[in-house]
Amino acid sequence: MLCKSVRIGTVVFALFFVLSSAAWAASPDDALTGRLNSTFHLKLRLDSLETIEHIFDHPIILLYSALLREEKTGGVMYALNLAFGLRPKSMVFVVGTDAGQTFFQMAVSMPETALPQLKSIELGIATKMELAEFLSGENQMTGKLDPVVLDGDNGPYYLFKDTIFLAARENLLLMSLSPEDLTASLNALDKAGVRRFL
């Protein structure tokens, strides 16, 4: 009888987990921390991206693209263009300057079809070719990224173009311009994940 109850409980729990998986998905907003002492700070969220052909066609990006370029954040514009080529569900990013240095964090919410690739990135087992093909999306940059996998305090992450630091958690692809900002994003997601399970 006890064994049967355990089996029923397991099935109910599994069913609950499957049915509520969308509610348990990580929110891209939870991955952004910014920097408290920044002299320039801009945070944007872009949703409903399916109908936009190019990131620079988005009205919000059109408003701020000149400002972003003036801040000499070539890496930021490159990361935005790269992420948009993946056809994400949404993008959230924060960019600014702190002590004369540019900082940048971005979280990209991906569709369920990308979860296998995100898991490989999260575990650090995506090969250079697999990662390059995934990130190329509609940008056709396969072979030009030459990503390097590194070990961090929060698990493996990738560096490509000697500029962009990249990791994945659950349904999110994370990018930054420094390992410190990537670590801050991962720590913020870990804390948010604990809150979701409480």
Q: Is 32 exposed, middle or buried (0-12, 13-18, 19+ CB in 10 A)?
A: buried
Q: What is the pLDDT of residue 77?
A: 78
Q: What is the pLDDT of residue 59?
A: 65
Closest CA relative to residue 94, chosen from 6, 193, 3, 182? 182
Other residues' Cβ atoms within 10 Å of the Cβ of residue 179:
16
Mean predicted lDDT score pLDDT of the chain: 76
- 133-181: per-residue pLDDT in tens? 888 765 555 456 778 899 988 889 999 888 899 999 999 999 999 999 9
Query: What residue ranges do the domains of the chain occupy?
Result: 27-197
- 49-82: per-residue pLDDT in tens? 766 666 666 667 766 666 655 554 567 878 888 8
Q: What is the pLDDT of residue 56?
A: 65
pTM above 0.85, yes or no: no
CB 34 within 8 A of CB 43: yes
More confident site: 14 or 31: 31
Structure tokens at 55: 């990131």
Q: What is the pLDDT of residue 159?
A: 92
Q: Which residues contact 171 (CB under 8 A, 6 or more apart)?
A: 25, 26, 109, 110, 112, 114, 115, 118
Q: Is the pLDDT of residue 9 over 80?
A: no
